[in-house]
Amino acid sequence: MNLILLEDSDFISEHQVALTGRRLKHLMEVQKISTGDTVKAGQIDGKMGTAKVLNMMPKTVTLNVNLTEQPPVVLPLTLILALPRPKMLRRIFQTIATMGVKRLYLINTWRVEKSYWQTPWLSDAAIREQLILGLEQGSDTVLPEIIIKKRFKPFVEDELPNIISNTKALVAHPTGTAPCPMALNQQTTLAVGPEGGFIDYEVTKLVESGFQSITLGNRILRVETAIPVLLSKLFS
């Protein structure tokens, strides 16, 4: 936890917060704070700054906060991702939040198993929990927007043209026709398939919509590995 994230409900006055539970445990057991210490803090979807420890009790800590800094610059990216296996989903939520992705579409594709959509990790509360863990790691305050689309063809035909308008649209695929570009400085839409990749029909539909097919090379990466690699290359 590199940043103590504050909820609106934590504020007991304009500049003071009271923390309990997981954050209190981290402050006491990991950061080993004492009265008078200062830690890095930020308000969810708000500014960042510092928090000074005013009072420590066994079940609560009171801090005085001074939040004057803007959060990090976001990646100029919209990420479109075929719903991964639930086991992988939690890590991906954390990864995109840590790396500055602020809009993620989860879509259905032919290789996405129907059972994946029943996972409790897609509940609003579960998604938010993982995003917060990612923000704490990356020292950011702005929660990403997660949008779920369960029908591939209507999404690609009816919604995708507006999403990719005025962006560089890329679809990552093991047999892509071009190497992954590097150090882009423009708004980008990136589509990443499930384990095994998009099927040919899906790649064709995306290319017809305006996407360029790209590849990371001969090695086949897991989705959870491919995403940070792609983001690092595209926005180094």
Tens of pLDDT, residues 63-74:
999 999 999 999
**Quick one: the chain helix, strand, coil %, rounded to 5?**
35, 30, 35
For the entire predicted model, the pTM comes to 0.93
Longest dimension (CA), the chain: 61
Please state which CATH class domain 77-234 belongs to.
alpha beta
Do the two domains 4-68 and 77-234 of this chain adopt the same fold?
no
Tens of pLDDT, residues 139-156:
999 999 999 999 999 999
The whole-number average pLDDT for the span 58-64 is 95
Question: Can you give the residue ranges of every domain in the chain?
Answer: 4-68, 77-234
The whole-number average pLDDT for the span 21-35 is 94
Please state which CATH class domain 4-68 belongs to.
mainly beta
The whole-number average pLDDT for the span 22-33 is 94
Token pair listed for 192: 């990443």
Is the CB of residue 16 less than 8 Å from the CB of residue 54? yes
Tens of pLDDT, residues 176-185:
889 999 999 8
